[in-house]
Structure 1
Amino acid sequence: MEFTRRQLTKLGLTAGVGVALPVGALSRPVARLLDASRVASPEVERFETSLPVPPTAEPVRTDETTDYYEITQQEETAEILPGYETTIWGYDGLFPGPTIEAQSGRSVVIEQQNELPVPVSVHLHGGVTPPESDGYPTDLLFPPDFDHDAIPSHHTAGTVDGFSHGTKEYTYPNEQRAATLWYHDHRMDFTGPQVYKGLAGFYIIRDEIEDDLLLPSGEKEIPLLICDRTFREDGELYYPSLDPSLLGEHGVLPVASDGWYGDTILVNGAPWPKLDVSNTKYRFRMLNGSNARVYDLELDPVPSDGSAFVQIGSDGGLLETPLSHDRLRISPAERFDVIIDFSNYSIGTEVTLTNRRGSGKTADIMQFEVTREESDESEITSTLSPPLEFPDPDDAVETRRFNFLAGMEGGMSTINLQSFDPERIDANPKLDTVEIWELDSDPAHPAHLHLVHFKVLSRNGGPPGPYDAGWKDTVFLDGDTIEVVARFGPYRGKYVFHCHNLEHEDMMMMANFEVV
């Protein structure tokens, strides 16, 4: 199935660029539509709040093979904007949630307890995970006394592991390389608003290969969850849901039809924070945790020597060799593991991490101030990892094509002109076989595959782009056609792939594949 939005427009088949609305959304009361367009966050002084770092979770017990954790999903209040209280939904009541630090080859079991007023499903993004623990969208964990018959039947259709009440255990074998992963909500139809309310956290896997490198560590290894949010004048989060209870009709008001873009940039849950640094190298595990916003990151001023960012890792872990970037584009759900060398700045310099895709307030992310001199024993070696064993495209037994297109089927977002059906299988790769997938979009969509990591083979018929290196699980389709190659396994079962613009995902830009 090969088509583009331009071709479909000529045929009269599209519902309009960027429209991803359920039928009837345009009939919402005018007052609500105006409300959505006029909401503006309270003014915040930039670069005044210190950068917070999410706490690292401690296991409740361990044995020879496994670390066991307990996490409660609950509503809390937090002071995100100085002087205001904001209601969040958080893992252990935190936004971001506590960081899980795991060891490659050592299992983690997390008992998730749901004390929220809605169902949830937890996905370990980038995890090579058995299907029953992958957070399939209809594998819902309900609050203890919730009547699951009160929600639409398609929310529990086609489940992989059924649904639970109160608690559920998720098992992560961690049979994969060291990498920066993250866990977040993945509930059918409501992933966007529930992640927006705070249900996201880091999950970092470590291994001996990475440990043997002299990369910046300790207080100089910092995770950065970058996202955007809009707040009401009283400091509460604003999200343009059709049903703010998140129990009825899913979807968003027309103002967010192509994704919801907040007017306040948060890093680790703080608005435009500041970090004091020494004149040494720092390692930043960057995650775009926004619902829809793409960032094009740059340092201002530019360093006196060398590149702004030295990329050492991608979604699936370390690169073979470092890559230098003056700018860094990062789409929703992508991770970039980078080094910034502050020895290229004089003491007292304020270095702003900026966003070339932003304007006004959203053109700034955070600020670093070089406040002191320190010795630096860290090193970026020319070889970071043994050769990455990518699948050979010549071994591919199947080539599949998927077009990501918003605004089809009465307003739904689609893949290959079909909206998501939890009971329909759209691809059935055989266990341990190699396939090439051609991913096409018009306009822009970050595409994410569960279970597998892949290598980008080409972009628009040419070589991969500058941000496509290494093992990927999410790739940005900016109106592009991209070929990727993956080996499907090591588990049989049903998984999803989807657009990680969460408003598009909730409006059905998702499909199933089943490893058979």
Structure 2
Amino acid sequence: MNRRRFLRLGASVLGAGALAAVAVPSAALLLAEGRPGRLLDSDLPLPDAFQVPLPVPKTLAPVRTDAGADYYEITQQVARLEILPGVTTEAWTYGGTFPGPTIAARSGRAVVVKHRNELPVPSVVHLHGGHTPADSDGYPTDLLMPVGSSSDHAAHAMPGVHAMNGMPGTEHAKGRTVTGERTLTYPGLQRAATLWYHDHRMGFTGPGVWRGLAGFHLLHDEEEASLPLPRGDRDLPLMIADRSFAGDGSFHYPSADATLAEPGVTDGYANGVLGDVILVNGAPWPRVDVDRAHYRLRLLNASNARLYRLELDPQPSDGDALVQIGSDGGLLAAPVAHDAIEIAPAERFDVVVDFSRYAPGTQVRLMNRFGSGRTEEVMRFDVSSRAVTDDARVPDTLSTIAGLDPKAVTVTRDFAFRRSRGDGWTINGDLYEPGRDLAAPALGATELWRFTSDLHHPVHLHLDQFQVHSRNGKEPGPYDAGWKDTVDLRPAEAVEVLVRFSDYAGTYMIHCHNLEHEDMAMMADFTIS
């Protein structure tokens, strides 16, 4: 996209007056940042692709159950893991693994998770996509201090804490900072969906997730169970995340302050950090044996900033390789067939692949057409020659989804995602300030929220899933179907979403899920009452 076309498109989408009010990047910057991020090279030799078996994260067992809830315990801890073959990497983990253990929950049944922090830094846990009370949502200053940080003085001495001292609005959450352990409650009042949990600490979400603080939370229900979809070993959660490694095997990340006392990244990485190693479930370019049968692939982009265009190579002869059955918020009304899927950070796509369409012995690569060199390959499926039974199929109807009614909208709000004239990223021209509301929706109200952009921003809304109403004044795009909690907002775009605020009052967040943008202030509060 050249500068002239950007100006013309921006004027048509935003209005000439609105565009004139923001700093328009140069043509060179636009060409470099149409897809965000800067590559951070590893400092050690990278392994060959497709040598490591695909790991599947273990499912966490509850420590106890009662009539209405399942109770879990997770210790956040430093672990030394073999991620690259023959190399030891120190990771920040949930339960000693990367990804963390999977929580498998049932709709309508509460999940109660007690987190214990044995890391060298504070943490905040957010259930991404969860319909969650505000006190368990993971507000970014609701710090869980490490075990042993018993005094206020000790807390302020922790890496990254003093950077928040005196910040306007930090008094908003002072009462919700605790030491050692915190219990979070997820009522499960939502439909089956592929959710995930990750660190959400203000100013340090990027390095926290990069170092390993992420895991799956899979919600199931009777509607989903009644469908003849792949299950068991043919239901694969796939967390795709790029990373880079230092010469000693540690995670390589360009923190502006190596001690993590201050947030931010070094010059050149403000638009996102891209790794040169593609991990799936924590393994570099893995391979997996698959039957000639249907498989459900739960695709999660857990990268800080990297966008993917995922495509199978070779494609099946008659196309439509990836049959989408679900989005961030669960099942679609009907399947949507794709040759490729574009997935931004934090988005999830549930797809079914029928490997019986391939001859026995075929090696099918999952490719990233937005990548180049080593980052163009993601993983490989090796199609077995053994005879198997496959009862799975994709029905023509998956779910009944009631569309939100635009006529019920009580308020329309505009959110402009822009880079500031300094080093930060803004929403409606403001850097994030905890405790300052950008919106105050009424509980039970339906609103239309309009997002506009300068560059590329995956926009995430806490609490409630939304439906994409329009993209650039037209119909939603090919990847906008179903209930969403994260929408891919591309350069100079306008996307309208409909959202109904339900069940829980309190303060929640809207933010960019490019984690470097988020850490550099592209967040805002809204309070429901």
Q: TM-score, normalised by structure 2?
A: 0.91
Deviation at 1:390, TM superposition (A): 2.6
State the secondary structure of the residue aligned to 2:374. Answer: helix
Give the whole-Å Cα distance in 1 for the aligned partners of 2:21 and 2:263: 29
| Residues 445 and 477 in structure 1, CA contact (< 8 A), matched pair in contact too | yes
Deviation at 1:375, TM superposition (A): 2.0
1:266 aligns with 2:266: no
Deviation at 1:42, TM superposition (A): 2.1
1:196 aligns with 2:210: yes
1:158 aligns with 2:172: yes
Give the whole-Å Cα distance in 2 for the aligned partners of 1:366 and 1:293: 16
Give the whole-Å Cα distance in 1 for the aligned partners of 2:235 and 2:257: 40
Deviations 1:10-50 (A, max 9, x none): 567468758xxxxxxxxxxxxxxxxx966444221100100
Aligned partner of 1:425: which letter? D
CA 388–503 in structure 1, closer or farther in 2 if over 3 Å, else same: same
Count of aligned residue pairs for this structure pair: 496
| Residues 42 and 276 in structure 2, CA contact (< 8 A), matched pair in contact too | no
Aligned positions of 1:301-316 closer than 5 A: 301-316=314-329
2:500 to 469, 474, 487: 487
1:280 to 277, 280, 293: 293
State the secondary structure of the residue aligned to 1:159. Answer: helix
Deviations 1:318-350 (A, max 9, x none): 011100000100000000000011011000100
Deviation at 1:181, TM superposition (A): 0.2
Alignment partner, residue 402 of structure 1: 415
Alignment partner, residue 75 of structure 1: 78
For structure 2, the residue ranges without an aligned partner over 5 or more in a row are 1-10, 31-38
CA 377–161 in structure 1, closer or farther in 2 if over 3 Å, else same: farther
Alignment partner, residue 300 of structure 1: 313
1:469 aligns with 2:481: yes
| Residues 180 and 316 in structure 1, CA contact (< 8 A), matched pair in contact too | yes
Give the whole-Å Cα distance in 1 for the aligned partners of 2:133 and 2:341: 32
Give the whole-Å Cα distance in 2 for the aligned partners of 1:270 and 1:322: 30
Deviation at 1:305, TM superposition (A): 2.9
| Residues 450 and 473 in structure 1, CA contact (< 8 A), matched pair in contact too | yes
Alignment partner, residue 364 of structure 1: 377
Aligned partner of 2:109: which letter? R
State the secondary structure of the residue aligned to 1:213. Answer: coil
1:135 to 134, 138, 151: 138
Deviation at 1:391, TM superposition (A): 1.8
CA 15–359 in structure 1, closer or farther in 2 if over 3 Å, else same: closer
1:441 aligns with 2:444: no
Alignment partner, residue 28 of structure 1: none
Q: TM-score, normalised by structure 1?
A: 0.93
Aligned partner of 1:236: which letter? S
Give the whole-Å Cα distance in 2 for the aligned partners of 1:161 and 1:95: 31
Give the whole-Å Cα distance in 2 for the aligned partners of 1:381 and 1:9: 46
State the secondary structure of the residue aligned to 1:238. Answer: coil
For structure 1, the residue ranges without an aligned partner over 5 or more in a row are 19-35
1:235 aligns with 2:249: yes
State the secondary structure of the residue aligned to 1:148. Answer: helix
Deviation at 1:5, TM superposition (A): 11
Aligned partner of 2:332: which letter? L
Aligned partner of 2:52: which letter? T
Alignment partner, residue 416 of structure 1: 428
Point out the more displaced range, 339-348 or 230-239.
230-239
Alignment partner, residue 176 of structure 1: 190
2:156 to 135, 138, 149: 149
Give the whole-Å Cα distance in 1 for the aligned partners of 2:233 and 2:508: 37
Alignment partner, residue 27 of structure 1: none
| Residues 41 and 276 in structure 2, CA contact (< 8 A), matched pair in contact too | no
Aligned partner of 2:106: which letter? Q
Deviations 1:57-103 (A, max 9, x none): 00000000000000000000000000100000000011000000000
Give the whole-Å Cα distance in 1 for the aligned partners of 2:381 and 2:47: 18
Superposed CA RMSD in Å reads: 1.9
| Residues 312 and 321 in structure 1, CA contact (< 8 A), matched pair in contact too | yes
Deviation at 1:179, TM superposition (A): 0.3
1:254 aligns with 2:257: no
1:245 aligns with 2:248: no
CA 389–274 in structure 1, closer or farther in 2 if over 3 Å, else same: same
Aligned partner of 1:360: which letter? G
CA 10–402 in structure 1, closer or farther in 2 if over 3 Å, else same: closer
2:341 to 323, 328, 333: 328
Deviations 1:364-391 (A, max 9, x none): 0000010223121111111111x21232
Alignment partner, residue 342 of structure 1: 355
Alignment partner, residue 121 of structure 1: 124
State the secondary structure of the residue aligned to 1:209. Answer: helix
Aligned partner of 2:50: which letter? F
| Residues 15 and 411 in structure 1, CA contact (< 8 A), matched pair in contact too | no
Percent identical: 52
Deviation at 1:490, TM superposition (A): 1.3
State the secondary structure of the residue aligned to 1:157. Answer: helix
1:42 aligns with 2:55: no
Give the whole-Å Cα distance in 2 for the aligned partners of 1:439 and 1:10: 17
Alignment partner, residue 64 of structure 2: 61
Deviation at 1:255, TM superposition (A): 2.7
